A and B are shown apart, each in its own frame.
Chain A
Amino acid sequence: MSAMQLVTSWLGRVRWLIGLDLPRAVSVGHALGEGQGAAVDLSQVFGLTRPPLAARVVEVKVAARRLHLVLGEAASICAVSSSDLHAAPRSLRGAMAKLGLIGLCFSARESSFGYLLDRQRVASRVHA
């Protein structure tokens, strides 16, 4: 059973697990600092409430440029089994695709699903 590495973070009150595949993540989990006004706050993209102190920034490459995504607390890297990765349910594919959510990741510990994020689509949505 193969596994992939994801940058994961809880986001907002509802504790949505957001996953990004690791290879293109440049840095993970540093606190939101001064001068990062260009960062994309995913809690705003998704209409969530994130505790201000829980912000963690993941720097990812999108095409040739770097993008700072502000995630929530506990941004970390974890290995996810391929059996825990699922395509978006067909009936929700439209709503999820609009936000750049391309699939689901099951968390046995939480007994709930998190979302897999397509960074390119998030970036294009933000910069559209």
Chain B
Amino acid sequence: MTDPTLEREALEAGVREPPQVDGFDPGATEVRRLCTVLVGPTWLALDVDMVDEITKLHDSVTSVPGAPDYVPGIMVLRGRPLALLDLRRYLELPDSRDEDMEDRVVVVSVPDMRVGCICDRVGGIERVLESRLRVPDAVQGKRLTPHVDKMFEHEGGLAFIVDLPSLLNAAKT
């Protein structure tokens, strides 16, 4: 079932309409709903059920003393603290942003943790048939490799499906 809040906020954030997939059956259980995000040169795909919302990166980020460089700090989101994780820095991916790109924060929840993942761009919500998924031969970035199990063709390249609980637990301080 589509989350109207997420899709509305994704559209407000400038992402495109979810594309239709050939042979797509909305009731089919073998369809995965994924939120695609661009991190450096790499497309990642996050399970939509773990994505709460998409927002802009605020100016007032409170630094955390002693935190690694991939933790830029804590952002205020509706009066509550949200720890930030710079995915590009954590995954050690190269910076390939265009000048006009604005950082986006994808707020994700996994058991016991809610984190704002900073990415370069939000692609949209994809409905991907399981039959399109493949096991990757190689993944760019050694830090990304343990958290990826499947990939699919996306935007003329590849998108890697991220195991969010695994990644966030590895990145926590």
Q: How far apart are the CA atoms of A100 and B115 in the complex, in Å?
A: 22
| B62 in contact (CB, < 8 A) | yes
> Do A104 and B173 have beta carbons less than 8 Å apart?
no
Q: Given contacts A89-B74, A89-B114, A113-B74, are A95 and B81 in contact (CB under 8 A)?
A: no
Instruction: For A101, list chain B residues within 8 Å (CB).
Output: 65
- For the complex formed, measure the closest distance between the CB of A11 and the CB atoms of chain B, giving whole angstroms: 10
> Do B114 and A98 have beta carbons less than 8 Å apart?
no
> Do A113 and B85 have beta carbons less than 8 Å apart?
no
- For the complex formed, measure the closest distance between the CB of B19 and the CB atoms of chain A, giving whole angstroms: 32
Q: Given contacts A90-B172, A91-B113, A106-B79, are A112 and B60 in contact (CB under 8 A)?
A: yes
Which residue of the partner chain A has the closest CB to B63?
A14
| A23 in contact (CB, < 8 A) | no
| B71 in contact (CB, < 8 A) | yes
Q: Given contacts A47-B66, A111-B60, are A91 and B172 in contact (CB under 8 A)?
A: yes
Q: Given contacts A91-B168, A110-B60, A112-B60, are A86 and B81 in contact (CB under 8 A)?
A: yes
Q: How far apart are the CA atoms of A114 and B79 in the complex, in Å?
A: 13
> Do B173 and A91 have beta carbons less than 8 Å apart?
yes
Chain B proximity mask over A33-53: 1 for CB below 8 Å, otherwise 0: 000000000000011100000
Which residue of the partner chain B has the closest CB to A106?
B79
Q: How far apart are the CA atoms of A101 and B83 in the complex, in Å?
A: 15
What's the interface size class on B, roughly? Answer: 20 to 34
> Do A91 and B83 have beta carbons less than 8 Å apart?
yes
| A92 in contact (CB, < 8 A) | yes
Q: Given contacts A91-B115, A91-B168, A104-B81, are A112 and B173 in contact (CB under 8 A)?
A: no
Instruction: For A46, list chain B residues within 8 Å (CB).
Output: 65-66
Instruction: For B74, list chain A residues within 8 Å (CB).
Output: 89, 92, 104, 113
Instruction: For B173, list chain A residues within 8 Å (CB).
Output: 91-96
Instruction: For A84, list chain B residues within 8 Å (CB).
Output: 79
Instruction: For A14, list chain B residues within 8 Å (CB).
Output: 62-63
Q: Given contacts A89-B82, A112-B76, are A95 and B71 in contact (CB under 8 A)?
A: yes
> Do A111 and B76 have beta carbons less than 8 Å apart?
yes
Q: How far apart are the CA atoms of A111 and B81 in the complex, in Å?
A: 11
| B31 in contact (CB, < 8 A) | no
Q: Other than A46-B66, A91-B115, A113-B62, give 15 A-B pairs with Cβ distance below 8 A.
A: A14-B62, A84-B79, A89-B82, A89-B113, A90-B113, A91-B71, A91-B171, A92-B71, A94-B173, A95-B64, A95-B65, A104-B74, A106-B79, A111-B60, A113-B74
Chain B residues proximal to chain A, CB less than 8 Å: 60-68, 71, 74, 76, 79-83, 85, 112-115, 168, 171-173
| 15 residue pairs from A and B, CB less than 8 Å apart | A16-B63, A48-B65, A89-B82, A89-B114, A92-B71, A92-B173, A94-B173, A95-B65, A95-B173, A96-B64, A99-B66, A111-B76, A112-B61, A113-B76, A114-B62
